[in-house]
Structures are given as C-alpha cells and as structure tokens.
Amino acid sequence: MYKGIACPAGYGVGKVIIINNALPSYREVRITDHEKEWERYEKATEAFKKYTLHALKRLKNALGDEADVLEGQIRLLDDHTMQSEIKRRISEGVCAEWAVHIVCDRVTSILTATGDGLTMQRAADINDIKIRLIRILTGIDEFELDKFKEGSVIVASKLTPYIAARMDRDKVVGIVTEEGTKTSHSAVLAEVLGIPTVLGVDGIVSSVSNGMNICVDSVRGMVITEPDKATKIKYKEQQKAYLQEQEKLNAFIGKDTKSADGTTFKIYANATGIADVKAGLEGDCQGIGVFATEYVFMGSRNAPDEDRQFEVYKEACELTGKNPLVIRTIDIGGDKRIPYLGIEKEENPFLGVRGIRFCLRKPDILKTQLKAILRASAFGNIKIMMPMVSTLRELRQTRQLLTEVKAELKKEKIKYDKNIELGVMIETPAAAIMADAFAKEADFFSIGNNDLTQYIMASDRGNEGVSNLYSAFDPAVLRMLRQVIAAANREKIPVSNCGEACAIPYYVPFLMACGLNEFSVSHTKILSVRSEISKWTIEAAQDYADELMSFTTKEELLENIETIYKKYIQ
C-alpha cells in the first residue's frame, strides 16, 4: 500500500499503464557534421510542435485555461536566446540531445533560483520540454494511444497537460503520479479531468509494471498494487457505491438549495478563470462566489491592461447572466508572487504586503482593475470583493477609489452598475473581531476560512510541520465563525463562506445553524453540498452546532463528531 495526496475523490480499479515521461539515457557523442545535427534538432522541434498542437486541439475544449500551458511551451521552445544557445553548442560539436540538456538545465536553474512561484512554473515547463525533446531525439515515443484499454490506470512521474491531452479519458479510471502537491499544476489538471487521482506517491513508477492490477483510492489517498481478490472486490464495491452516490446527486441538478424545513441557501462556485466559471455553471452553481483575478495577472508576462481585464470580466459575467459574479480584486503576495508587479521579497509574505494591502499601495493598479470591473458590470450581475482586509480604513479607502472611478466613467459616458456592491473577505482575525463594525459598512461578507484558520491558529496553511494545528474544526475557528456570521445577520447583509472547509459534510450543518446564507465551493462539490443541506432542519442543525460548540479541543470534537452528526441528521 502506498500513500499520497488525493484529488479529486473517487475510486478506480484497473490495470497499470506506465507513461514513462522520465528523462531517457543517451550517449553524449561529439559530432562533426554540425549542419546535419542542427537539421536533426530542427526536425525534433517540428515533431514536438506537431504533437503539442495536436494535443492542444484535444485539450482546448476539455481543459480550457490549462491548455494555455502547452501554447506557452511552444513559445518557450521558439525563444530566440534558447535557440541560439543550442545552435552554438551544436556548432561546437555537442550532439543535439546533450545541447538541449545543457541549455535547458541552465535556464531551469536560473528560473528556479528566483524562488518565485510563476517563474518556477516556467522552469518546470522548460524541464518538460527538455525531457520530451530528448525522448523524440532518441527515438523513444512518449506513449501510444492504443495502449489505453478500458480500465487503465495511468502511472507516471508527473501529470502534465500533454499527458492529459493525449490520454483517452473514457478509458482511464485512475491516475497515480510521483510528483505533485495539493496546489500543484498536476492537482489542478486532475481536478479538471475529474478522474480519481493520487499524487506524490514516491517511487511508484519503478514499483509497478504494465498490466499490473491496481486500486486507486482517492478518497483516502491510497494506492494498492496487486490487490488480493478480497481487496479488489471491496474496491469494486466501493467504486460502485461511490458512483451510485454520485448518480443520486444528479437528482439535485436544477433544484433550489433548501434545508429540510424549507430555508433557502445559495451555492456558488469558486473560480480562477473562465474555464472554472463554465465548469461551475455545468455543475449547476447559482453564481460565482469568488472569481480570483490574480490568475488573470499570473497568466501573462505584463500586467493586463484595462481592456484586457474588461474582456475577461465581461466574458465571465455574460456566462453567469443574472446570477452573481463576485470578482475578487487581486490577492497577490503570500504564496502568490507576480514578478512584473515588483513585490519586494519579504521575510514573512503571509503577514506582508498581500491582497488589498498591495492594491492600496499601488492605487493605479487597483483603479485600473476597478474600472475594468465597473465597465463589465453593465453586462451582468457583478459584485466586488476585497481580499485580506484587516481594517475599516482599507474598506473606506477602497470605496473612495471606487467612487473616483465611477465619476471618471460617468464623465466618459461609459455605462456601469451604479449600485455595484462592495464586500469584504473575512479572513484575518482583525476583520473577524471587528465584524460588527464591518457589517455596517460592507455590502456583504465572504468568510475565507483557508486564511482565517491559518491566521487564527498562527499556523501556515502550507506548512506540513504545523498541519496538526491548522484545522477548520478547532474550537477557536468555530467560535470566530459563529460571531462573524451573527454580526452579518444582525446587519442583514449576506454572508457566504468560500474556504474549502465549507464543503465538508460535517461543516455544512454547523454553518447553516450559524446563519450562513451562501456556500461557495469547488464545482465538483456543488451537488453534494446541496444534498447535505437538504438533509437538515435548522433546528437539528442548531442542536448539532451547540454540541460541537461545547468542546474545547478539536481532538475531542473530532472524536465525537460522527456520533453527534448521526444523532441529528434527518
């Protein structure tokens, strides 16, 4: 049995198909016919582009924005400096494989040294290019499509967009990779593909062989190779039950989101781009609870100008139509850095110039964004949301900028929604403690419990070393949530929750009891949250929440939660 990171949930039982996307071995030979070697290199790059474009065509519809990575790889390969460096090595007598290896490694190490998330992603792309080019040069095909038989489980060192594009999605029942963390590119791809996947399983490629039986349990993050008959049967049954459960959820498509006693809630989807908006709508969301715009910035080399941003926001709000599209102003800093915005390296980026703090220091960037959002607001139901707010002053300053931008638009006779709402994310303890005051000035709240939990518990959300402390079930977090929601209820402003915990079945009735109005979740969780809500009366949820609130440690709470949950669920 192997352990890894599960995403997305499900079970897959099938036979291994290894996709060897590791660097192949080759001989470092000296060459004398430089021209012929350059031709060989050029032929390989042509093949690379042909395969990539073919993959891109397959991928574009299925994976939306993720496909851009492949386009980016073609651009990187065409990069003039890289090309001339490779040419120079070849003219010095280095064979093509070796030249590609040296040059790509140099670029990768320069990019990696920046320590910047987006630049490092580019380094990972160069590494992919290197491996694929050398595989083509050495004549080792990457993988053949006819290898995919019904019930295949892909085992690879890494899940790349190229693999995602080339695999036959109807035949693949599971994916296992050696690399990948919960927030990696592989995880995003796996989520979009919707195939049970376990990432980060060390040494799995060399531990399996083609055709071997394998069970992928991406509910628990486990992989079992060569299962005995009983295990195989058990997993097949779990897979069947899981699929039946999913089937049952389909009954909630197109339904209102209501508790068992008729209280109405809304379920929105979280989005980081247009593809997510589409996925959310396909998943039957009632709007987009967070449209995280930093990804619009992270996906380009320069800051997108007002028109470019306007196009994106307009496209998103035309898709959501009458339903709300909550656009979050850029939340950079923390773990998200954008080189061209000139954010200084900080000792403690999560406590640094992040989110609205950054924007208020660069009012031009914020004003451009607000203007693009306001212009788009003439085409749908847009609301604006501020991330990482800690003081009322930040809200007032932003409102002031919004007023200024509105005046500019009015002067320019450009249409916008005059009543556009401005809400705040409650994700710092300061904002949570001051929720009563914020509720008097903000148009709505959205609780970001990914961050709120890390700041309340003073434990970095990405640091394994303190993951025992980082829990949305800690009584400190539950108490804070109850206060924040009550403050919003008192002022009668809508309050939503958009952190990951709000989709957990045990969390849903707690939030219902507190008085939450809206849940904003991954598109894969919309129906399961709607179903969960339907199983609770408000009274039962309140009894359940009261019992949870009686615990003073999360350990005791988690030991008892299942029993309490079962006691009250309808």
- Secondary structure (3-state) at 320: helix
449 binds, among Mg ion, ligand PEP, none (CB under 5 to 8 A by kind): ligand PEP
380 binds, among ligand PEP, Mg ion, none (CB under 5 to 8 A by kind): none
292 binds, among Mg ion, ligand PEP, none (CB under 5 to 8 A by kind): ligand PEP
In 3D, which of 18, 22, 32, 24 has the Cα closest to residue 137? 24
How far apart are the C-alpha atoms of 300 and 546, rounded to whole Å? 48
Nearest distance from C-beta of residue 336 to ligand PEP, angstroms: 8
Nearest distance from C-beta of residue 221 to ligand PEP, angstroms: 21
Q: Are strands 257-258 and 2-3 parallel, antiparallel or unpaired?
A: unpaired
Residue whose tokens read 């998943």: 283
Element (H, E) at 108: helix 96-113
- Secondary structure (3-state) at 216: strand
Nearest distance from C-beta of residue 200 to Mg ion, angstroms: 23
Catalytic site residue 185?
A: yes
Catalytic site residue 498?
A: yes
Catalytic residue among 7, 498, 502, 514: 498
Alpha-helix runs per DSSP H in 170-210: 185-193, 204-207
Element (H, E) at 569: none
85 binds, among Mg ion, ligand PEP, none (CB under 5 to 8 A by kind): none
How far apart are the C-alpha atoms of 434 and 437, rounded to whole Å? 5
Choose one: 184-192, 414-422, 446-454, 528-536; the region binding Mg ion (CB under 5 A).
Answer: 446-454
11-19: strand order across its sheet? 2-3, 222-225, 213-217, 11-19, 152-156, 172-177, 197-199, 5-6
Nearest distance from C-beta of residue 260 to Mg ion, angstroms: 32
Nearer to Mg ion, 177 or 293 (CB): 293
Nearest distance from C-beta of residue 328 to ligand PEP, angstroms: 8
Beta bridge partner(s), residue 384: 327, 422
401-440 residues near Mg ion, rule: CB under 5 A = 427
Binding site for ligand PEP (CB under 6 A): 290, 292, 331, 427, 448-451, 498-499
Nearer to ligand PEP, 14 or 499 (CB): 499
How far apart are the C-alpha atoms of 296 and 304, rounded to whole Å? 8
Catalytic residue among 101, 104, 185, 502: 185
Nearest distance from C-beta of residue 81 to ligand PEP, angstroms: 35
499 binds, among Mg ion, ligand PEP, none (CB under 5 to 8 A by kind): ligand PEP
Nearer to ligand PEP, 16 or 495 (CB): 495
- Secondary structure (3-state) at 265: strand
Q: Reply yes or no: is the peptide bond before residue 8 cis, omega within 30 of 0.
A: yes
Nearer to ligand PEP, 5 or 498 (CB): 498
Element (H, E) at 48: helix 34-63
How far apart are the C-alpha atoms of 137 and 147, rounded to whole Å? 22
Nearer to ligand PEP, 214 or 292 (CB): 292
- What residue number has its CB nearest to ligand PEP? 448
Contact flag: residue 448 with Mg ion (CB under 5 A) = yes
Nearer to ligand PEP, 67 or 386 (CB): 386
Three-state secondary structure string covering 324-366? EEEEECCCCECCECCHHHCCCCCCCHHHCCCCHHHHHHCHHHH
Nearer to Mg ion, 217 or 451 (CB): 451
Contact flag: residue 116 with Mg ion (CB under 5 A) = no
CA distances from 296 to 300, 312, 331, 538 (A): 7, 8, 11, 39
Among 66, 191, 294, 451, binds Mg ion (CB under 5 A): 451
Nearest distance from C-beta of residue 207 to ligand PEP, angstroms: 34
Q: Which residues are catalytic?
A: 185, 498
Binding site residues, Mg ion, CB under 5 A: 427, 448, 451
